[in-house]
Amino acid sequence: MAVSERAAPPAGSGRARVRNPYSSLPSWLYPSFVVLALTMFGVYTAWVVLFQPVAQSGSYLSPFDSPLIIAGGIPAGILVVWAPLVFRGTCYYYRKAYFRSFFWHPRSCAVDEPKRGPYRGETAFPWVLNNLHRFTFYVIFVQVLFLVFDAIIGFDFHGRFGIGFGSVLMAFNVVLLSGYTFGCHALRHLAGGSLDCFSCSTVARTRYQLWRCVTVLNVRHDRWAWASLFSVWLTDLYIRLLMAGVRHDPRLIFCWPSITRPSRRTSWCSARAVPACALRSPRPRVARA
Ligand code: FES
């Protein structure tokens, strides 16, 4: 059992210094990182959703706007972003992270709680809303399917298969988001919860296998959480830089037709993108005299 070590209080101070038994890093580093990263992500999200147009460049669509829902004058992102924000805000890992960072809850039980009111757990407003997590999981499950579709469309350049930096980024983002979503504690409970016996029926055995798969992702849930947060951020930023003309998307376009039909999102193409097949096209024949 890990036990915090209480160092002798410095002379003149009434409070003992507590050494973190789980890490040699300074205790303030993790909460500072969480506060900084979540605050910056929140401000960036509010800015792009409320004040910026839909991030769409050629066949690329930002995860902030997917699925693209046009409804009157309402910014498209608002109709989409609420679900991942509620999902992340109520995620078991993020709860731990922001309780410890924004509200200065102790990282281990050997450290005193700051003085606050009577403990009511998550039974009173607003923390009772954390129970929405399992419901938003269903919404996010559907959204991940849309993002998979978007990632496939991202390899479609005017009906031809191609690989651009943006395509790779979108595919990578979907992998990280899937790792985060399908390692969710709520899914783990759906897969293997409320079972008294894992081997008593075919359904129970199947659920056990599913539970094991979810557990593989679940043990690193915190890493999937951060990696997917940054990949969503980076994907949106990259597409916006393309839209602004600040960046050129390096890409290789092949002669093969895309497996998707030419998308309605393929109206833009960088003039500097040279199809690979153009390099191999037959030379024009010279008419003999
Ligand atoms: S517990 Fe983190 S996504 Fe469900």
Tens of pLDDT along the chain (289 residues) come to: 344 444 445 544 555 566 666 677 888 889 999 999 999 999 999 999 999 999 999 999 999 999 999 888 888 889 999 999 999 999 999 999 998 899 888 776 666 777 777 777 778 888 889 999 999 999 999 999 999 999 999 999 988 899 999 999 999 999 999 999 999 999 999 999 988 898 999 999 999 999 999 999 999 999 999 999 999 999 999 999 999 999 899 999 887 777 665 444 433 333 344 444 443 434 444 444 4
91 within ligand 1 shell (Cβ under 6 A) = yes
Q: Find the angle CA(78)-CA(224)-CA(168) to the nearest 5 degrees.
A: 75
Token pair recorded at residue 112: 């005193």
Of ligand 1's listed atoms, the one at least distance from the Cα of 88 is 3
Q: Find the angle CA(125)-CA(40)-CA(231) to the nearest 5 degrees.
A: 100
Is 261 within a domain? no
88 within ligand 1 shell (Cβ under 6 A) = no
Q: Would you state the pLDDT for residue 261?
A: 55
SS3 252: strand
211 within ligand 1 shell (Cβ under 6 A) = no
Measured in whole angstroms, the distance separating CA 284 from the mean position of its chain's CA atoms is: 49
Q: Which of 141, 185, 214, 215 to mutate to test the pocket of ligand 1 (most atoms within 8 A of CB)?
A: 185
Residue nearest to atom 3 of ligand 1 (CA): 184
Of ligand 1's listed atoms, the one at least distance from the Cα of 185 is 1
186 within ligand 1 shell (Cβ under 6 A) = yes
Is 1 within a domain? no
Is 93 within a domain? yes
Is 245 within a domain? yes
Is 48 within a domain? yes
Q: Would you state the pLDDT for residue 270?
A: 39
Is 126 within a domain? yes
92 within ligand 1 shell (Cβ under 6 A) = yes
13 vs 10, 71, 180, CA distance in Å? 6, 60, 44
176 within ligand 1 shell (Cβ under 6 A) = no
Is 288 within a domain? no
221 within ligand 1 shell (Cβ under 6 A) = yes
Is 268 within a domain? no
184 within ligand 1 shell (Cβ under 6 A) = yes
Residue keyed to tokens 């101070």: 13
Residue nearest to atom 4 of ligand 1 (CA): 184
Q: Would you state the pLDDT for residue 25?
A: 81
- The domain in which residue 190 lies consists of 22-255
Distance from the CA of 62 to the center of ligand 1, in angstroms? 22
Residue nearest to atom 2 of ligand 1 (CA): 91
Specify the number of domains making up the chain: 1
